[in-house]
A and B are shown apart, each in its own frame.
Chain A
Amino acid sequence: MMAHHESTYEPQGRWAKWLDERLPVPRLVHDQLVEFPTPRNLNYLWTFGGILTFCLVAQIITGIVLAMHYQPSGADAFNSVDTIRRDVNYGWLLTKLHAVGASMFFIAVYIHIFRGLYYGSYKAPREILWILGVFIFIAMMATAFLGYALPWGQMSFWGVTVITNLFSSLDGVIDGLGTAIVQWLWGGYSITGKTLNRFFSLHYLVPFIIVGLVGLHIWALHVVGQNSPTGLDVKTKADAVPMYPFAVAKDVFAMFVFLIVFLWFVFFVPDYMSHADNYTPANPLATPPHIVPEWYFLPFYAILRAIPSKLGGVMAMFAAIVVLLFVPWLDRCRTVRSTRYRPVYKWFFWALVVACLGLGYLGAKPPEGAYIVWARIFTVYYFAHFLLVLPILGLIETTNQPPASIAESVLGKAGSDSRADAEPANQG
């Protein structure tokens, strides 16, 4: 296995040797971030992991500075955010970097997840890597939900109202359980500044849990090595290039393209991804005509409302996320990883993409008429994809034959054992 490659680090000088015998951080960096073998055939979909790491760091930095000016109280929260925009130096930039940044984070994570689904990156030996990913995704959603409450505008308040009230449906399971959870979340019998206070506390906490999970995620990645568009692992030196400078050059370029899109929104369309109602202070007495969550929750919100019973809807919504944890075992296709070599599954994969986009669209629409019918069809497909298509198709589909190795897929049969072209992997 290339991932367990021998360390090639040689400390230069006395001080480096001294450190290497005590805390070999330079060795770790050298082995894991410089020499680390990355498949030579990765496409740009593999740059999103790095982009996500950037997003996480950016959110934490902008968030910490915002927290220096923000007042987490029912009376002051909205005004303090407005004051940040108007009176804090570059406060208008800071608030938007953080708010648009959250949306960009989700765009990147959805691409990252669908990349994993398409290339079968969740399959052995990457199950734990994938599961850690799902935990990260759940923690990201929690953080975003908590954070959206903080400006304490109309949509903040009513979003919190709708989502926390979902838990009251658990009263149907154990009498009083739902009510107890709701009151515990609220810190009282209604949503008040107290609720906001605890949301702020948790919103500051969860990102650091994500940092820990990402650490494990990357650790797991570096134990098993990266998957590749062919679904093949790195087996020989000819399959791989060292991370530096190859993968790094590509990642940095992709990150700048991502930054252009990100900052286009921040500077020129800063309100596009958020809701106008959140510029009106929270008012418990005035319900907005449509209560709509942030766009990245819309597919799950559509599933929630597609089910005619409240408890059923809540369970379906959570099941839609939890089912992802089991994907490594639901998919029974053991012959190949990558959808490239699965002529039938390919169609179902794109049907899933359409279903998710469709659910996202319908989540913003009132639950009535044709909207609800289509939300139900897509919901059924969503679950059928994971619970029926993945297991059954995996067993019956005739897959195509992938190349013997990554090197062969790039260089053709002759090239795969040509030493000359493997040269970059040999250096150092």
Chain B
Amino acid sequence: MTTSKKIAAFVFVASVAGIMNTTVASAAGGGVAIERQAWSFSGPFGLYDQGQLQRGFQVYQNVCAGCHGIDRVRFRNLVEPGGPGFPEADVKALAADWANAVVDGPNDDGEMFERPPRLSDAIPGPYKNEKQARAAQNGAYPPDLSLIARARGVEYTGPVWWHPFHMLKDMATAYQEGGVDYIYALLTGYRDEAPAFKRTEDGKLVAVSDADAEDATGVERCASVTHANGAEKDVCVALQEGMQYNAAFPGHQIAMTPPLSDEAVEYKKNADGKPVVPETTAQHARDVAAFLAWAADPSHDQRKRLGWQVLLYLLITTILLYYAKKAIWKRVKH
């Protein structure tokens, strides 16, 4: 019997070791590490910051709306609680002046016609359809941004053995902001040039800093590198015509030109004439990302508020039930 015990122990240890060993492969997987940001709406207690959502909408309106629609959001949503909460009159005026019209009809003559949007309308985007968007954007398609904050996520890039603990930590701390973190990283992840690499004698590509690249020879600029196995050489994937290098975008080549720059949008000013927050690229990116988080999840604040009420009720009831159960079983050994 002891032999079978040893076999069993071996299987167990081998399996655990096996899970840990897979680190080797994941390093080759090539997920991009996205830095986590502190959002006002992070964690189980976090809620949207109304001022930030208003600024974020401003960035959307002035920058992104030129190329991206957000057609699951209605003008009236901008007024509702739990969102940017603009005054209704302002949004009415905003809708009436909106750059893109709504197609309505047919009218009494049987014709379709265009009219300015109303509060109840979806915010109309710049293009009528995907074909038109691609035609205007050199074949690239700027996706609708209504759900983008939930349609993107972050991939885990750490060691395999830590992954289960990382998952438990995310569940316990209610980490839900992967998509928003990604958008922020995307908008701030542009570089003028693809990173520099030098080739070693055996054909491997090694990253070199831009400073070192200045006066070195044989530097290659690669958007990404395909590592080869064994004797083959690494392949340098150069930036294609019309593409931008972006650290966060999968594959690092994106057709969207860097949309933001410092002072791209003018924010509300304090009494001293300074803007409420700095008008930097990073701040614009942060604000618009938060706005897109709201656009994708407008019931977020209501959800968390109700969540605490429900959870509190459950906790108290559960404690009472525990003592009830104890009292009932007290008479019986079990």
Interface residues, chain A, CB within 8 Å of chain B?
40-41, 82, 85-86, 92-93, 241, 245-246, 249-250, 252-253, 256-257, 259-260, 263-272, 276-277, 279-280, 289, 343-344, 346-348, 350-351, 354-355, 357-358, 361-362, 365-366, 368-371, 374, 377-378, 381, 393, 396-398, 410-411, 415, 421, 423-424
For residue B81, CB closer than 8 A to chain A, the reply is no
- B residues near A369, Cβ cutoff 8 Å: 24-25, 28
CA distance A371 to B237 in the complex (A): 26
- Those 9 A-B pairs whose CB atoms lie nearest each other, nearest first: A267-B307, A347-B8, A279-B151, A369-B25, A276-B153, A268-B174, A92-B299, A354-B15, A256-B318
From A41, A93, A266, A398, give the contact of B334 (CB < 8 A). Answer: A41
CA distance A398 to B170 in the complex (A): 44
Q: Is the CB of A361 within 8 A of B19?
A: yes
Q: Is the CB of B151 within 8 A of A272?
A: no
A253-B325, A276-B152, A365-B25 known; A92 and B332 CB under 8 Å? Answer: no
- A residues near B321, Cβ cutoff 8 Å: 249, 252-253, 256
Q: Is the CB of B311 within 8 A of A267?
A: yes
- A residues near B170, Cβ cutoff 8 Å: 269, 272
From A260, A271, A347, give the contact of B176 (CB < 8 A). Answer: A271
Q: In the complex, which residues 196-228 of chain B have their Cβ closer than 8 Å to any Cβ of chain A?
A: none
A–B complex contacts, Cβ < 8 Å, 18 sampled = A92-B302, A92-B303, A249-B329, A252-B321, A253-B322, A253-B324, A257-B318, A267-B311, A270-B303, A276-B150, A276-B179, A279-B147, A351-B12, A351-B15, A354-B12, A358-B15, A365-B22, A369-B28
Q: Is the CB of B171 within 8 A of A267?
A: no
Q: Is the CB of A421 within 8 A of B332?
A: yes
CA distance A41 to B329 in the complex (A): 11
1/0 contact string of B209-251 vs chain A (CB within 8 Å): 0000000000000000000000000000000000000000010
From B1, B15, B26, B178, give the contact of A276 (CB < 8 A). Answer: B178
CA distance A423 to B333 in the complex (A): 11
Q: Is the CB of B4 within 8 A of A82?
A: no
CA distance A324 to B44 in the complex (A): 40
1/0 contact string of B1-39 vs chain A (CB within 8 Å): 100110011011011101101101110110000000000
CB-nearest residue of chain B relative to A393?
A: B4
- B residues near A82, Cβ cutoff 8 Å: 72, 147
From B12, B72, B306, give the contact of A350 (CB < 8 A). Answer: B12
How many A-B pairs with Cβ below 8 Å?
A: 165
Q: Is the CB of A410 within 8 A of B334?
A: yes
Interface size grouping (class) on chain B:
35 or more
Q: Is the CB of A370 within 8 A of B25?
A: yes
A92-B299, A370-B22 known; A267 and B332 CB under 8 Å? Answer: no
- A residues near B303, Cβ cutoff 8 Å: 92-93, 267, 270
- B residues near A245, Cβ cutoff 8 Å: 328
The distance from the CB of A265 to the nearest CB of chain B, in whole angstroms, is 8
Q: Is the CB of A86 within 8 A of B311?
A: no
From A249, A357, A371, A393, give the contact of B328 (CB < 8 A). Answer: A249
1/0 contact string of B246-264 vs chain A (CB within 8 Å): 0000100000000000000
Q: Is the CB of A249 within 8 A of B175?
A: no
- B residues near A272, Cβ cutoff 8 Å: 170-171, 176
- B residues near A358, Cβ cutoff 8 Å: 15, 18-19
- B residues near A374, Cβ cutoff 8 Å: 18-19, 21-22
CA distance A305 to B156 in the complex (A): 22
The distance from the CB of B6 to the nearest CB of chain A, in whole angstroms, is 9
The distance from the CB of A83 to the nearest CB of chain B, in whole angstroms, is 9
The distance from the CB of A75 to the nearest CB of chain B, in whole angstroms, is 14
A241-B332, A377-B18 known; A268 and B307 CB under 8 Å? Answer: yes
Q: Is the CB of A424 within 8 A of B322?
A: no
- A residues near B318, Cβ cutoff 8 Å: 253, 256-257, 260
CA distance A245 to B328 in the complex (A): 7
Known: A280-B151, A355-B15, A370-B24. 9 other contacts (CB 8 A): A86-B299, A249-B321, A256-B314, A279-B150, A344-B4, A351-B15, A370-B21, A371-B22, A381-B15
CA distance A354 to B19 in the complex (A): 9
- A residues near B92, Cβ cutoff 8 Å: none
CB-nearest residue of chain B relative to A96?
A: B303
CA distance A270 to B152 in the complex (A): 15
Q: For chain B, what secondary structure do more than half of its interface residues adopt (helix, strand, loop), or is it mixed?
A: helix
CB-nearest residue of chain B relative to A42?
A: B334
The distance from the CB of A401 to the nearest CB of chain B, in whole angstroms, is 15
CA distance A265 to B167 in the complex (A): 13
- B residues near A354, Cβ cutoff 8 Å: 12, 15-16, 19
Q: Is the CB of A246 within 8 A of B304?
A: no
- B residues near A40, Cβ cutoff 8 Å: 332-334
- A residues near B306, Cβ cutoff 8 Å: 93, 267
B77, B147, B163, B308 — most chain A CB neighbours (10 Å):
B147
Q: Is the CB of B1 within 8 A of A397?
A: yes
CB-nearest residue of chain B relative to A257?
A: B318
CA distance A370 to B150 in the complex (A): 31
CA distance A266 to B22 in the complex (A): 32
From A249, A355, A411, A424, give the contact of B325 (CB < 8 A). Answer: A249
For residue B317, CB closer than 8 A to chain A, the reply is yes
The distance from the CB of A89 to the nearest CB of chain B, in whole angstroms, is 11
- A residues near B18, Cβ cutoff 8 Å: 358, 374, 377-378
For residue B112, CB closer than 8 A to chain A, the reply is no
CA distance A347 to B22 in the complex (A): 23
The distance from the CB of B207 to the nearest CB of chain A, in whole angstroms, is 23
CA distance A301 to B263 in the complex (A): 50
For residue B331, CB closer than 8 A to chain A, the reply is yes
Q: Is the CB of B147 within 8 A of A280?
A: yes
CB-nearest residue of chain A relative to B147?
A: A279
A260, A267, A358 — most chain B CB neighbours (10 Å):
A267
Q: Is the CB of B21 within 8 A of A421?
A: no
CA distance A252 to B314 in the complex (A): 12
From B11, B171, B176, B314, give the contact of A348 (CB < 8 A). Answer: B11
CA distance A253 to B326 in the complex (A): 10
CA distance A270 to B325 in the complex (A): 31
The distance from the CB of A42 to the nearest CB of chain B, in whole angstroms, is 8
Q: Is the CB of A362 within 8 A of B15?
A: no
